[in-house]
Structure 1
Amino acid sequence: MSSAKSMPIYKKFVQEGIVKYKLHEFMEKISDKAGFHGVEISSTPIRDIITVYVESPGVMIGRGGRTSKRISDILKEELGIQNPYIQAKKVDKPFLSTRIVASYIARRIAKGERYKKVAYSALGRVMAEGAKGVEIRLSGKFGSQRAREERFREGVIYRCGQDYIENVEYAVKHVLMPQGMIGVRVRIVKPGVRGPDAVVIKEDEIERIRERIKSEMESLSESEVVEIPEELEGELEVAGEVKEDESEQAR
């Protein structure tokens, strides 16, 4: 078997990708109660630093670091990471993360809470964080024999095109209930997104046009004002007197 140094570069990339995928899958499963958002791994000559982004870092680390120590031992055995160091970081706005929102809904449904109450609660908290739009879709059996899908929406949701690729975050979570599996799908449109139908008023451009019009009006000199010749002034006075006489006769 060839050593790691003589391994072709493409095989090394594939192997690293597999390790990252397994690490993400494992950390998502083990840190579900902490509100998992994502994981990053950076290798140094001394150790491999694994940064986990969660809603509650204290749950991830555990009392006295016991939970993180147990996770490190599992990573050594399962994924072959020789010297892992786990650190947990808190997500600034957890309810803008679709993974955290999906886990939040799944946990509360698993505890027996009504799905509509849970969905509307999550909907309000996501919009309160500043999201432009959110969609929650729950599918499964909700106390009936036949499965159905329930949708909860607020704000704007993009479903195709470049706006969907760049501005929409998507996550799926499943929760096993006595009546069967319930699927939770969450879409969130990031804050500060300006859609293609947005109207933008350019105040600077309007002010520039106003200043230009004002300067043009002020540049008009008195010489450009049309003056009435003296001959026409006399004719206009006679015409005015004739009109006055005709109005008096009409009276």
Structure 2
Amino acid sequence: MSAKASPTYKKIIEEGLIRARVFEFLQGELDRAGFHGAKVVSTPVRDVITLYVERPGLVIGRGGRIAKRLTEILKREFGFQNPYLRVEKVEQPFLSASIVANFIARRIMRGERHKRAAFAALRRVMASGAKGVEIRIAGKFTGQRAREERFRAGVMYRCGEDPMSYVDYAVRHVMLPQGMLGIRVRIVRPIEATALPDQVIVLPEKVEEVLAEFSGREAEVAQEVPPELLEESESEDESEEKEVKEVEGDAGEECESGGTEEDVKG
């Protein structure tokens, strides 16, 4: 009697757990290389693992030693039968929240003040073309009391579809003598203006079309109105203008004479 096949959802969960463990392992091993992410593609022949890093040379090593060591660990610890590592360089590293968080963590570990490290990262992120960035650092900085400091620039999306589509998020931890520091980074990647829900673009062609449509309607209305009504409206406008001029003239004469007769008697 054949063994009962495991449900599909269990296979999906197991694959997800393995990928999470691989990601965590690579993140710790390739911290100095500026690890951004990894993608695992399984084929009948081999398992292709693509690594996205800031400095590929630190992943390959001299003569490929580091890459070979990582391949052996992936075989032994994670059950990959025939893993194949591919390394790709991240073209704009400061648009990656993971790389920025590692950058801040390394500078704090060297003894640099957290504010200086955060502002340096913030300037580089905005110079790379990001729409916005938020850096949060929490923990014990100087005294025994923990606190959180935030550094922001640009815009930041927090609800709806925008955070999932356009915001990159990463968390790193730094162990210091006074305690643990937590670093959280959010970066809004460069987006086309047409994709943002809070931006309105006025197209000149549409404006011209609307103006032409309104001018055509006015011409049609003018043709529909009979000429007798137009003459009457013009005569009424002229009479109103005469009345206004007469009232203004009387008011000017009163001002020159010093007021009305009742004002003089008073």
2:187 aligned counterpart, secondary structure: strand
Matches within 5 A, 1:222-241: 226=227
Unpaired runs of 5+ residues, structure 2, are 232-266
Q: Structure 1 residue 109: deviation in Å?
A: 0.7
Greater shift, 70-79 or 207-216, is seen at 207-216
User: Which deviations, in whole Å up to 9, do the C-alpha atoms of 1:132-173 show, x marking residues without a partner?
Assistant: 110001111222222111110001112223333332221110
Please, what TM-score do these two structures have when normalized by structure 2? 0.76
C-alpha distance 199-33 of structure 1, shift in aligned 2 (>3 A)? same
How far, CA to CA, are the matches of 2:206 and 2:170 in structure 1?
42
Aligned residues: 227
1:204 is the counterpart of 2:201: no
C-alpha distance 181-220 of structure 1, shift in aligned 2 (>3 A)? closer
Matches within 5 A, 1:15-26: 15-26=14-25
How far, CA to CA, are the matches of 1:8 and 1:196 in structure 2?
41
Aligned equivalent of 1:56 = 55
C-alpha distance 123-221 of structure 1, shift in aligned 2 (>3 A)? closer
Q: Which amino acid aligns with 2:113?
A: R
How far, CA to CA, are the matches of 2:143 and 2:8 in structure 1?
54
**Higher helix fraction (1 or 2):** 2
Aligned equivalent of 1:134 = 133
Any conservation in 2 of the 1:68–1:86 contact (CA below 8 Å)? yes
Any conservation in 2 of the 1:167–1:193 contact (CA below 8 Å)? no
Unpaired runs of 5+ residues, structure 1, are 230-251
Q: Structure 1 residue 41: deviation in Å?
A: 0.9
User: Which deviations, in whole Å up to 9, do the C-alpha atoms of 1:199-232 show, x marking residues without a partner?
Assistant: 321322102123445666888999x995999xxx
Greater shift, 163-172 or 178-187, is seen at 163-172
2:129 aligned counterpart, secondary structure: coil
Q: Structure 1 residue 186: deviation in Å?
A: 0.5
1:66 is the counterpart of 2:65: yes
The percentage of aligned residue pairs carrying the same residue is: 53
Please, what is the CA RMSD of the aligned residues? 2.7
Any conservation in 1 of the 2:166–2:191 contact (CA below 8 Å)? no
